[in-house]
Structures are given as structure tokens and as C-alpha cells.
Amino acid sequence: MRHLKAHRKLGRTTAHRMSMLRNLATSLITAREERIVTTLPKAKELRPFVERVITLSRRAQLLEGENTAHQAVHLRRQAAGFFHAGNRQQASSTGRRSTQGRAPRTAGVVALKRLFDELGERYKDRPGGYTRIIKLGRRDGDNAELAIIELVDNPREREAIEAANKRASSKKKTAKASESKAASGGRRGGRKADRTFEKEETTEKRGAKAKADDDKTEANKPKGGRRSKKTESTAEEKETE
């Protein structure tokens, strides 16, 4: 039974396994989209490895007191052990008589710089949980289970959240505008104006117009119809008889 054996060997020796984790951590931190695709067991082993070094950069941002600079250097040296060392040929190539120029720095040095300059500030108020694992299914060929491991709160995720908030705010504004137009009696709200929200001037004009129409109809009505004329003629005939 595997008691007190928390980590996976991944079919490698200790040196090979640590070198692989350092490479994966460097690739994750220096990636443009801040995510890499690997197998699920490697992603599960990489997660505590990377989060431990991000915690060191987070501590460097929260330092207070007199020996802040010395403590920050100490934390940076501790974090450097999680990456491959810089180019060893750099010291010999920086002499005055050297014609080759300065040797390029390795990716581990770039990852360490980005870790303390950017990621430490981003995760300053986040107590752990800096990465996320997303399963992708099985790979064709060897049937290995793939997964994405990415940094939380990356720029792509922030852009998606901002776009969603903008869409929600625009929907709220349009809903409020339609409600206000419907309440004020406008026709753009989808329905005709209600008479209860009509202005007093329009109601007075409408009443005056209706009254004028009634007067016109009464004036145009004939005074005394055919029936009244017939009754008068019959009455005269009876008197003559």
C-alpha cells in the first residue's frame, strides 16, 4: 500500500521529473494565453508546484517593515529554485574584449521576472487557488487523457467578463428606456398611448372638437320631418269637411 506517497512518479527518475516540472512551469508562466495543454497526471502534479512558487511572489508583494528589500531578495532566490538557472556562459561573454555580445537569457529567468513583476501583484489579495484544470478527453493514438491547466483571472477571462457586464448593462438600459417611454405615453414602447396618461391640453382640444361636431350635426338636422307635415295637412282637411 502507498501510504504517505502523495505524488506521482510519472515513469521518470527524480531528476528527470523535476526538470520536466520546471519546464512546464516556465511554459505556463511565459505563455501568451497563460495556459498549456498536457496530460491530466502531469497537470495535477504541476498545479501544486506552480502554486507554491506563485505564493512566494505574493508574499514579496505583502512585505512590510525595515528589511523589506532583503526579504524580497530571499523570496526571489527561493523561487529561482523552481526554474532552470540562467545562462552560465553570460559571465564569460560580457568582457570588454568579447566580440560575441551578451548571451541571451533563458526562459526560466524571464518567467521569474514576470512572476514577481506581474503575477505577484495580480494575486496579492487571493489566498491560493491560482490555477484551473479543464479536462479535454482522450488523445488519439495512446489514449492518454488530456487537460488544460491555466492561470486564473487571465486577460482573456477578464475581457470576457467585461464584455458580459457591458451586454448586461446595455440590456438594463434598453429595458428602463422602454418602461419610461411606455409610462409617458409614447408609442415606441410597443403599444399605443393610453388615455390615462394623456395631457390635459389634448383632452380639452378633443372635447372642444367633439362639442363643435355635435353642434354642427344639430344645426344641420331638418326642423319638423315628413310626419309632422302630413299631420298638419290631415288636420286642415278635417276642418274643411
In tens, the pLDDT along 137-187 reads: 999 989 999 999 999 988 888 888 988 888 888 888 888 777 777 666 555
Rounded to two decimals, the pTM is 0.64
CA distances from 133 to 43, 172, 220 (A): 7, 34, 89
The string of pLDDT tens digits covering residues 13-67 is 999 999 999 999 999 999 888 999 999 999 999 999 999 999 999 999 988 888 8
Q: Beta-carbon neighbour count of residue 20 at 10 Å? A: 16
Separation CA 186–CA 196 (nearest Å): 12
Least confident window among 51-65, 86-100, 108-122, 195-209: 86-100
**What are the φ and ψ backbone dihedral angles of 135, each rounded to 5 degrees?**
-75, 140
Three-state secondary structure call for residue 224: coil
Q: What is the pLDDT of residues 60-91, one digit of tens each?
A: 998 888 888 999 999 999 999 999 877 655 55
pLDDT at 1 over 70: yes
Burial of 238 (0-12, 13-18, 19+ CB in 10 A): exposed
Residue 189: pLDDT over 50: no
- For each of the domains in the chain, give its residue range(s) and CATH number, in order of start: 14-91+102-152 (3.90.1030.10), 163-240 (no CATH)
